[in-house]
Amino acid sequence: MYLKNKFKYNLFNDGFCFLPSIFSKKEIISAYNGLKNIIDGEYETGRSPERRFWEIGDDPNSIIKIDKPHICNKSVWALITKPEFGRILAKATNSNRVQVWHSQVVWKPRSKGSSGIAGWHRDAQYWPFWSRRGLYTAWIALTNVSEFSGPVRFILQSNQWNDIRELDFFDRNIDAQDKILDSHFKSRTIINGILNVGEVSIHTSLTYHSSIENKEKWPRVGMVVHFCTEESQRIAVTGEDSNYLEQLEDPKTAPIIFEK
């Protein structure tokens, strides 16, 4: 498992970067087990996740996405609030303040057919209530991520592109999506987020990314941490999302993990 010079990428210019692990083996194993329990419907803290996109009894080969697992389990909470984690995110984003406002587990068992595909998207397309600056996603590898396990893959410098409206995380027809991308940017460079367990990738909310099938025997597990910095700004929206960011006032849901 090797990505040549992986630490050379620049978050602001390239749209993503990779960071070495700052987690102990124990922290990783505890969080991995915590996420497994959440998938199995066991919520140690007594709080349910914000939303489950996979229910017990659903296709076991399908991608399992559950929102805000950090509120359900103490080890998952400990992982994403580790002070050293806050410090490295602040350093990488050149920020004075890092607040986690959302998270997801994306657990990808060995795939069958297109069951493991997450379509091309940029995170900002799902966040009408946020400005486009100061919003990032950290992806913590809770297993080794090889080129065959369906790593998150990033389009180099796509954070500098205009929006491509037809793309979507939930669209598993990656060939059709590639054609759409071709019609906008024929020439593009894709970098796989090949990570050793504990390592972290960060991408901006504007970076196009996706992931394809897991052909390894073991699940590929990512703890996805969405965070904002002092550069972010709330945007007033109407409808069901109008109050969504009120949770920023609740430290038990949206912890500040670094502040200068």
Ligand X SMILES: O=C(O)CCC(=O)C(=O)O
Q: Under the rule (CB under 6 A), what is the footprint of ligand X?
A: 106, 118, 123, 137, 139, 152, 169, 209, 211, 222, 224
| DSSP codes of every residue in the chain | ---TTGGG--HHHHSEEEE---S-HHHHHHHHHHHHHHHTT--TTSPPPSEESS-TTS-TTS-EEEE-GGGT-HHHHHHHT-HHHHHHHHHHHT-SEEEEEEEEEEEEPSPSTTTT-EEEE-GGGG-TTB-SSSEEEEEEESS-B-TTS---EEETTGGGSPP-TT--TT---HHHHHHHHHHH-SS--EEE--B-TT-EEEEETT--EEE----SSSPEEEEEEEEEETT--B----GGGTTGGGGGG-TTTS-EEEE-
Shortest Å distance, C-beta 107 to ligand X: 9
Provide the minimum distance between the beta carbon of 252 and ligand X in the complex, in angstroms, as a whole number.
23
Write down the least CB distance from residue 222 to ligand X, Å.
4
Residue 172's region, left for phi above 0, alpha for psi from -120 to 50, else beta, is alpha
Cβ 210 to ligand X, closest distance in Å? 7
Question: Please, which residue, 86 or 119, has the CB nearer to ligand X?
Answer: 119
Which of 130/260 has CB closer to ligand X?
A: 130
Question: Considering beta carbons, is residue 75 or 211 the nearer one to ligand X?
Answer: 211
CB of 1 to ligand X, least distance (A): 17
How are strands ordered across the β-sheet holding 209-211? 118-121, 209-211, 153-155, 190-192
Q: How far is the CB of 147 from ligand X (least distance, A)?
A: 14
Looking at the Cβ atoms of 202 and 254, the one nearer to ligand X is 202
Question: Which of 49, 222 has the CB closer to ligand X?
Answer: 222
CB of 145 to ligand X, least distance (A): 9
Q: How far is CA 230 from CA 59, 90, 128, in A?
A: 40, 10, 18
Select 90 or 224, whichever has its Cβ closest to ligand X. Answer: 224
Closest CB to ligand X among residues 32, 139: 139
